[in-house]
Structure 1
Amino acid sequence: MRIVQLITHMNELGGAQVHVRDLSRQLAMDGHTVTIVSGGEEKVPKDLVLPSITYVHSKFLIRNIHPIKDFIALLDIRKKIKKLRPEIVAIHSSKAGILGRIACWSLRIPFVFTAHGWSFTEGVEKKQQRFYRKVERCIGKISSTVITVCDHDRNLALKHQVLPFAKIKTIHNGVIDTKNAGLENGNREFVNILMVARFEKPKKQQELLEALISLKDLNWHMIFAGDGSLKQKTAQFVQENNLGHKVTFLGNHSNVSELLNETDIFVLNSSWEGLPLSILEAMAHGVPIIASNVGGVKEAVRNGQNGFLIHENLQEQLSLLIEGELLRKKMGEKSREIYEGIFTFEKMYQKTLTTYYNLL
C-alpha cells in the first residue's frame, strides 16, 4: 500500500508522534510505502526520524486555531496528498484530524482518523469542550472510520453523539517491548520514582512534589523527564522546599527505556489523558503505576492490582509503595501481565493494518 500518515506536528516525542513513528517503521518493514506529512516546525527530532520514511512538511499547519492559516493549510494539505496519490491516509491529532478529513473527503481518498484523546474530554475548559464537540459532530458526518485508543474515548464520543456506533472502534494503544530482561527492579539505595511528561498545564508535577514533601524522611528519589513552560517554576518550588538532593530534572530524554530499567514506581499526575504511552511503557518494564483516574488510564491501571488510581490520596499511595518492596514487586509483575495481554505493539499493529485493508 501507499500510505500517508498525517499529523499536526512531529516536533516533540509525544504519544501521537511515537505512535506514528513506530507504526510507520513497521509498515515500511512490511513493504508498504509510507510518507509522513506534518506541520509545526520543519525540523524533526532525530528520535522521530526514520531512514525508510519520506517526510513532507506543511508550513501552514499549526496547532492553534487561526481561520485564515487553517484554510491555507487545508489547501496545502489537499495539494500534497493529491500529489502523493496514496491509497489510504491515516490521520492523527486534533487539527490535522479536522483539516485532513476534509481534504481526503474532497479528493475521494479513503482515510481513517485516530483520536489520541478528544479535545472535549473531561478536565478541558467547558467552553472549549462545547466548541470541539460541535466541530467533531460536523466532521463526523464525512468520516467513515474513526479509531479511539481506549474505550473511554469511544464511549465519550458516543455519549455526546459525535459519531454513530458504526463509525467508531477502539484499538488500544500498544508499545514496543524494550524491557531489558537482565535487569530487576529493587535492591537499590533509593526507591526511584519516575514521571515522564511535559511541564505544561494538563500535568501536575508540583502537586506530586507537594505529596512527597511530607514523605521526605523516606528513602526515595524523584526523577522528572520532560521539558516545558512550567519546568522553571517547578524547579523553584523544589529549591524553596529544600528537596534539591531528592529531585532530578533530566529535561527531554531520548531513552526512556533506560530510565524505566532503573525505576521502582512510575507516576503520571494529569488533569486529562487519552491512554498515555508512558504508562504502557512502564507496565512493559514491570513497574507499578500511580496515575490520575482520567481518560482511559483505568483500562491499563487496575486499582490495587498493578498500581493505584489517585483519589485525593496520592501521599498515602506513594508511602505504601515507597515502603513496600514486596507490594512493588507484586504490582510490577501484574503490570507486565496486563501489558502482555492487551497493550503490545503487535496487537495494536495487526488491528490497525486490518482496518486499513477493510477501508480499501
Structure 2
Amino acid sequence: MRKIRILHVVQAAGGVDCYIRMLLKYLDKEEFENIMVCSQDFHKGDYKRLADCFEQIEMNRAIGMSDLKSIRVVRKQIKKYNPDIIYAHSSKAGAIARMADIGLKNRCVYNPHGWAFNMRCSEKKKMMYAGIEKMAAPFCDKIICISDAEKQSALDKKICKEEKLQVIFNGVDIKAYENGTHGKVKREDLNIPEDAFVVGMVGRISPQKAPDVFVRMAKLVKDEVPNAHFVIVGSGNQEAEVRKYAEDNGFEDSLHITGWVNDPMSYVELFDVACLLSRWEGFGLVLPEYMMAEKPIVATSVDAIPNIVRNEENGLLVEVDNAAEASEAVIRLYRNAKFKQNLVLQGIKDVHSKFDAQRVAKEHEKLFEELVR
C-alpha cells in the first residue's frame, strides 16, 4: 500500500513551525509522506530529515492583493504533488490553501493554531476574522482545534457544524527533553546568585504575553522577597518599556532578558516559579513545557489555559491583567514548599498522560487514515 501523501501549507513561523516539526518527527514514515509548502519565514535546513520535499513561496501575514498570487502558487504546488491530504496551518495559510484547493480531488484539514478572532483586537477585526473563517469552513473536511476552548469558540461563533471540528490537544516532546543535555545554562551566566528566588516567563515581549504585567508583578514580589530575580526568555517590541519600568522602580539589576534563544528550556531550568500571564491564548504550549521541566506554574485563567492548568491542582490561576494577584500566587509558592511540590508532581503526571507529542502524532495518523482509506 502506497504512503499517504500530505501537503502542509503554512505561513506563520514561530510556535507553528515548532508544532509541525514535532508532528513530522513522530508521524509514521512508513505510512506518511510529507511535503512542505511554506512562507519565506521558514528554513529548509530545519526540515532536512523531516519532510520529503520542501517548497518555499511568498506568503505575507497581512491581508492584501498579494494573497491572490499566493493562492495561484499554492494551487500549482497542489497540482504538482497531487497529495491525498492538504493540511493548512494557521489562519492565513488556512484561507489561502482552502481557496487554492477548490475543485481539486483530495481531502483538506485545517488547523488555525488559535483563532484569530480570539485575539485582543477591535470588534471590527474580530468580526472580519470570524467572517473569513465562516466563508472558508465549507472548503475543508476537518478543522483541528488545539483545545476544548478553541472548539467552543468555533461553536459560539457558528464557524461550522460540530461534526467538522476535532480536538487534538497540543503536546511537547517529552522524549527529546528527557534524553537531552540539562544544565547547559547556569545562573552565573545571567549574573543571578545561586541562592536567588527566580521567577521567569517564556514568550514574546509583546501585548499578548503581558510582559508589562509580569514586570509589575515582579516589583511587588521584589518588595516581599529581596533576593528575587526575574527572567524573560524572549524578545519583542515592548522590551524597552519593560526595562524602563524595572529601572524606574530600582530593580533593573534583578531583571534579565535573554532575547531570542535556540533552547528556551535551558533557561526554564533556572526558574523556581514559571509564569504565563497571557491576555489571550489559543493553547499555551509553554505550560506543558513548564510541567515537563518540573516547575510550578502561575498562569492567567483565560481561553485554553484552564484546559491545561487546574487551579490548586497542577498550578495556580489568576485574573488577566492582575499583577497583584499574580504576585500573591508567586509569593505563596515561595513560602509553601510542600504545596509547591504537590503542584509540580501533579504537573509531571499530567504532561505524560495528556501532552506527549507522540500522542499528538498518533491522533493525527488516525484522522488522516479515516479521511483517505
TM-score by length of 1: 0.91
Distance in 1 (alpha carbons) for counterparts of 2:196 and 2:181? 20
Could you tell me whether the CA contact under 8 Å between 1:279 and 1:289 is conserved in 2? yes
Counterpart residue number, 1:355: 367
- Measure how far apart 1:112 and its partner are: 0.5
Paired residue secondary structure (2:236): coil
Q: Using the aligned pairs only, state the percent identity.
A: 23
Distance 1:240 1:120, change over 3 A: same
- Which residue in 1 is equivalent to 2:69? 72
C-alpha contact (below 8 Å) 1:124/1:272 kept by paired residues: no
Residue 130, structure 1, aligned to residue 136, structure 2:
no
* Deviation at residue 85 of structure 1 after TM alignment: 2.0
Which residue, out of 254, 257, 277, partners 1:269?
A: 277
C-alpha deviation, 1:145, in angstroms: 0.5
Question: 2-side partners of 1:150 and 1:8: how far apart?
Answer: 21
Listed one character per residue, the Cα deviations across residues 304-355 of structure 1 (whole Å, up to 9, x for unaligned) are 1111111231121121112322222111111111112211112111111111
Within 5 Å, give how 1:46-61 maps onto structure 2.
Answer: 48-53=46-51, 54-59=53-58, 61=59
Shift of 1:30: 4.5
- The residue aligned with 1:39 is 39
Residue 106 of structure 2 is matched in structure 1 by 109
2:5 is the alignment partner of 1:2: yes
SS for the counterpart of 2:27 is helix
Q: Would you say the 8 A contact 1:7–1:39 is kept in 2?
A: yes
The answer on 1:84 being equivalent to 2:81 is: yes
- For the pair 1:215 / 2:213, whether they are aligned, the reply is no
Structure 2 residue matching 1:275: 3-state secondary structure: coil
| 2:331 corresponding residue in structure 1 | 319
- Determine if contact 1:2/1:87 at 8 Å carries over to the other structure: yes
Q: Which string of whole-angstrom CA distances, capped at 9 and with x for unpartnered residues, describes residues 267-288 of structure 1?
A: 1111111111111111122211
| 8 A Cα contact 1:133 1:160, kept in partner | yes
Q: Is the 8 A contact 1:171 1:351 kept in 2?
A: yes
Q: Is the 8 A contact 1:137 1:161 kept in 2?
A: yes
TM-superposed deviation, 1:40: 3.8
Counterpart of 1:300, as a letter, is I
Could you tell me which runs of 5 or more consecutive residues in structure 1 were left unpaired when the two chains were aligned.
Answer: none
Equivalent-residue separation in structure 2 for 1:324 and 1:49 (angstroms): 45
How far apart are the structure 2 equivalents of 1:286 and 1:153?
Answer: 26
1:205 and 1:234 in contact (8 A); partners too: yes
Q: Deviations over 1:137-179 (max 9, x none)?
A: 1111222100000000101101111010110010111111114
Conserved? CA contact 1:264–1:328, under 8 Å: no
Matched with 1:20 is 20
Going from structure 1 to structure 2, the CA distance change for 1:96 and 1:182 (only over 3 Å counts) comes to closer
Distance 1:228 1:167, change over 3 A: same
Opposite residue 7 of structure 2, the aligned amino acid is V
**1:129 alignment partner, SS class:** helix
Contact 1:286/1:334 (8 A) holds in 2: no
Structure 2 counterparts to residues 322-337 of structure 1, below 5 A: 322-337=334-349
8 Å Cα contact 1:199/1:227 also seen in 2: yes
**Structure 1: distance between partners of 2:151 and 2:246:** 39
Change (3 A) 1:286 1:45: farther
Q: CA deviation at 1:188?
A: 5.4
5+ unaligned residues in a row in structure 2: which ranges?
A: 184-192
Q: Give the equivalent residue in structure 2 for 1:248.
A: 256
Match of 1:206 among 212, 217, 220: 212
Matched residue type, 1:197: G
Distance 1:307 1:69, change over 3 A: same
> Residues of 2 paired with 1:144 and 1:87: CA distance?
12
Give the length in aligned residue pairs: 351
Query: Separation in 2 of the partners of 1:50 and 1:155?
Result: 37
Residue pair 2:23, 2:360 contacting (<8 A) in 1 also:
no
Deviates more, 1:127-136 or 1:317-326: 317-326
Q: CA 1:247–1:30 in structure 2 vs 1: closer, same or farther (change >3 Å)?
A: farther
Q: Secondary structure at the match of 1:56?
A: strand
Of Structure 1 and Structure 2, which has the larger fraction of its residues in helix? 2
| Counterpart-to-counterpart distance in 2, 1:37 and 1:79 | 11
Q: In 1, are the aligned partners of 2:233 and 2:267 still within 8 Å (CA)?
A: no
